[in-house]
Chains A and B, each alone.
Chain A
Amino acid sequence: MIKSEVASWYRWQEMFRFESFHIFGIILSAVAVGTTGIAIIKKLRIRDVYGKAIVIPDKAKSFYRYAFGGFIFGIGWALAGCPGVHYALAGFGQYMILLALFSAVMGTWIYGALRTKLPH
């Protein structure tokens, strides 16, 4: 993540201004390989290493939670990064990111506490 600059704050800003293909390229190539891989797994009914059938659960059908949650996440992402990036940057020795990680855990906690009151 560090080496391909996905973890770079500057790259996110570029992405959200549509001024660079970089992160879009990463996502598109990952999705292209991922879609092919999952299609093969499903087609050949490949089992996992424990011999169990692989079932990838579908995401629950809904609109509000994805729209509201996605929008809120997007705002936070542009400011302080997304979860995978937090871990990578912590390893890179950027200690202020631990504050982002900590507050993201707190954000999750708040969600859990308010969950029943939110439209899903």
Chain B
Amino acid sequence: MELVNLHPLGCSWHWSVSGISIAMIMLALILFGKSFGLSSTYRTLCTISGAGKTSPFFRFDWKAQLWNLYFASGIIAGGFLAKHFLSAGQTIVINPETQSFLFELGLIDQTGVNRQYPLLPPILFNPELTELPRAIFLITIGGLLSGFGSRYAGGCTSGHFISGLSNLQIPSLITLIFFMLGGILSTNFLLPFLLACL
């Protein structure tokens, strides 16, 4: 079935294609008087769900932020398109060191990343019933921390790493150093620890 890979958009894209596209999106948003940052949508979703009753932090004009939710729906649509129209048996080849690290944790097979699940390890994101509680626990912890931390720091990867750094913001530089420290700790120590305990 070599045919499927002939489509130029079907294979994985080079990192620079993605990087430049992301920057173009950010600049386009700036030209429309908006700013690029996706964790803000979580705050908007809180407000829409009635969080204004619990904290003044959520009492703001969420309608002015609706565009960002539309933007997020665009990303959802993009994910859908990638799956149904641009996927051609995409596999991910990762560094052998990472591969053996993840194999030892039981997250991938010895042969590498599962072809069927090129994006997320099935044991966490498509688990058997017996593995479900552990998966739910890990994902919930991860989600809670990322939601809490991004608002505490005033932005996530898009807001600080991309927008902030492009605007030469020192706070963003501080934040991303700590993003990296948190991530390094999490991947190398917390994840193995939690997987061993659960």
Contacts and interface: CB of A to CB of B under 8 A. Distances in A.
Interface of B: 9, 12-20, 22-24, 26-27, 30-33, 35, 38-39, 41-43, 45-46, 49, 51, 54-55, 57-58, 72-73, 75-83, 86, 90, 92, 94-95, 97-98, 101-102, 108, 113, 118-121, 124-127, 135-136, 138-158, 160-172, 174-188, 190-191
A72 B149 contact: yes
Instruction: Provide the main secondary structure of the chain A interface.
Output: helix
Contacts, number: 438
A92 B179 contact: no
Measured as residues with beta carbon below 8 angstroms from the partner, the interface class of chain A is 35 or more
Given A9-B121, A62-B171, A80 B142 contact: yes
Instruction: Provide the main secondary structure of the chain B interface.
Output: helix
A26 B103 CA distance: 26
Q: Can you list the 4 inter-chain pairs with the closest CB atoms, starting with the nearest?
A: A74-B182, A91-B79, A107-B147, A80-B142
Interface in A52-73: 52, 54, 56, 58-63, 65-73
A99 B147 CA distance: 12
Nearest to A22: B15
Contacts of B16: 25-26, 29
Given A74-B181, A75-B185, A26 B15 contact: yes
A33 to B, nearest CB: 4
Contacts of B168: 35
Contacts of B169: 58-59
A34 B184 CA distance: 26
